[in-house]
Chains A and B, each alone.
Chain A
């Protein structure tokens, strides 16, 4: 099958297709304008403050960066693990990985207090900072994946696509380890300070990346009238189920380990029972809608081969992803630092209390703009390059 596989640009002229592209472009522009407003006025127009220093933009940015790494899954499965069935999807897998990472990095950059100092970030490196390492890991990832994509697309160079695929696989595992470690290395905060955040972020990347991949694949195929056979849908459905089960497992281990230490009980109570919005998000959206429901959809025989069920599961996984990252990033900061163990603490600087955070419209627009820019970039690439297969018919094997 692989030898005869043909790829083609998306040619859809349907108003719905162009409408989505225009909407994404509009959202990206609005996001940029929101970032400009934040830059001119200062971060007081956001909900972020000196207690919750990373807010909604970081939830969006880390979602995209983590998903970028996972979007490369199908290319890895094909090039590195020799799963021929995924080969037709490998090119799009690489394109989406780059597009998502660019969108995520754009949000991070535009949220800086001094985005005009990008050149400083590119020229001054503190190699003890995992953040500085991430700057190198992210730029390196884009470079490696672009070369990998070229090797896959250039017929004469296809023999080299396997070593490039291996390099990209290793690089992205390191990259997501780095992203998880941004939090894992924060030894002073009870919500973080654990090595399990690295593998948790890796398995999160698998699921989030695949969910976005499947949705965009379905969108492009539908508007271009390409055939997506049940066998392919079924394969993606089971793969997604496996990854969501992985997330559930690591989240379970994370909380069980924390619960074992008495000093962590206040933090665990905050997330699991007393945290108001955070608790609701955890049980209802992260666990219920984001894990258990997709698991049911992905493993119940009744949904076998159903594209609708797959896309519904993908949307649920993405909703759960945002809840999970919101709890990790913002909940982790809202819980107070324990500077004076054994004392009740009170101050003008919000010591000893759960910090308030209410995201403002500007942050939301910046985050949505970044997601829109990433999706637009991916969809435009599909329009100008032969990335997607002309169809995914039923397989003989």
Chain B
């Protein structure tokens, strides 16, 4: 399947170029300090693709969802230490109990990377934006910290940074007074293209068991498209017509 994706997603020559450029762009500024930039500024994001996730609720145990959250924390350096209401949470474990049957399940919930994101609509400065490849991000240079995007997000996917941060990771620029959320591991996507595996998916997918698919929703031959065709998916708050890039199987 990976080979199929190779053919369709990103031409090998192009990926090789991107990898070379990324290596060039990783400049050591000082011993121990590395300026990391995978996709060179100026290299356009491919507007023909739309990255998305399919999360298989049937395959995920509570421990799996915890693993997703921990992996995301390690990858991006955010912590939810004391469970305080001001903690950032890029992805969270949600426990669902069916009122009628009592059936319980656990889901990871993060930014749903909507096709029509309300956070982007309401952002006064345009800091909240959607990339051509469908990833919804916050421009940390133009976010003024008004939190209107958090008011507008139907999924409670965004967090505001309430305190001074130290030791941020190069792949996840974060700072007090701005808003942040799941980036769909954009640094991996820009590095690896269709081969990318977001940290949450990496934490739960094992040989012979796929619980979270990542890939190009526009490509009928991609693994995620095939899985979507086979299993179907529920989109959270589908009634709102936002067409999220994240779907849930078995909800």
List A residues at the B interface (Cβ < 8 Å): 39, 41-44, 48-51, 53-54, 112-115, 117-118, 120-121, 124-126, 128-132, 135, 182, 185-189, 333, 337, 339-340, 342-351, 355-356
Contacts and interface: CB of A to CB of B under 8 A. Distances in A.
Interface centre among A44, A129, A345, A351 (most CB of B within 10 A): A129
A124 B126 contact: yes
Interface in B93-114: 93-100, 109
B176 A49 contact: no
B240 A188 contact: yes
Contact of A348 (B92, B96, B161): B92
Given A49-B85, A50-B85, A50-B159, A135 B144 contact: no
B83 interface: yes
A133 to B, nearest CB: 9
B163 interface: yes
Interface stretch (B23-31, B150-158, B182-190): B150-158
B146 interface: yes
Given A337-B156, A339-B237, 14 more contacts: A42-B161, A42-B164, A43-B160, A50-B85, A50-B89, A50-B158, A54-B151, A113-B144, A126-B126, A129-B148, A344-B97, A345-B97, A347-B92, A350-B85
Given A112-B177, A113-B144, A124-B142, A345 B95 contact: yes
B87 interface: yes
B246 interface: no
A351 B94 contact: yes
B177 A345 contact: no
Nearest to A108: B146
B144 A50 contact: no
B162 interface: yes
8 contacts: A53-B150, A129-B148, A131-B148, A340-B94, A346-B95, A347-B93, A347-B95, A348-B83
A348 B152 CA distance: 21
Interface string B124-151: 1111000000000000001111111011
Contacts of B100: 342
B58 interface: no
Nearest to A128: B121
A342 B125 contact: no
Given A53-B147, A129-B124, A44 B99 contact: no
Contacts of A48: 86, 162
A126 B87 CA distance: 28
Contacts of B84: 49
B222 interface: no
A340 B86 contact: no
A126 B177 contact: no
B80 interface: yes
B71 interface: no
Contacts of B163: 41-42, 44
B44 to A, nearest CB: 21
A54 B144 CA distance: 14
Contacts of B156: 50-51, 337, 339, 349, 351
Given A131-B146, A347-B93, A340 B151 contact: no
Interface residues of B, number: 55
Nearest to A188: B154
A372 B98 CA distance: 51
Contacts of A120: 125, 142, 144
A126 to B, nearest CB: 4
B154 A121 contact: no
Nearest to A351: B94
A356 B155 CA distance: 18
Given A112-B146, A114-B177, A339 B236 contact: yes
B124 A344 contact: no
A57 B237 CA distance: 31
B151 A189 contact: yes
A50 B126 contact: no
**Which 3 pairs of residues, A with B, have the shortest CB-CB distance?**
A113-B145, A113-B177, A188-B154
B154 A345 contact: no
A113 B143 contact: yes
Contacts of A186: 151-152
Contacts of A356: 85
Given A337-B156, A349-B156, A185 B147 contact: no
A180 to B, nearest CB: 14
A177 to B, nearest CB: 16
B154 A339 contact: yes
A339 B239 CA distance: 11
Contacts of B86: 43-44, 48-50
A54 B109 CA distance: 23
A120 B123 CA distance: 12
A356 B177 CA distance: 21
Contacts of A340: 94, 96, 236
Interface centre among A39, A188, A337 (most CB of B within 10 A): A188
A2 B160 CA distance: 55
A54 B149 CA distance: 11
Contacts of B89: 50, 348-349
A109 B165 CA distance: 22
Contact of B85 (A54, A124, A355): A355
Interface in B173-231: 176-179
B126 A343 contact: no
A187 to B, nearest CB: 7
B40 interface: no
A50 B87 contact: yes
B122 interface: yes
B88 interface: yes
B125 A49 contact: no
A113 B176 contact: yes
A391 B192 CA distance: 77
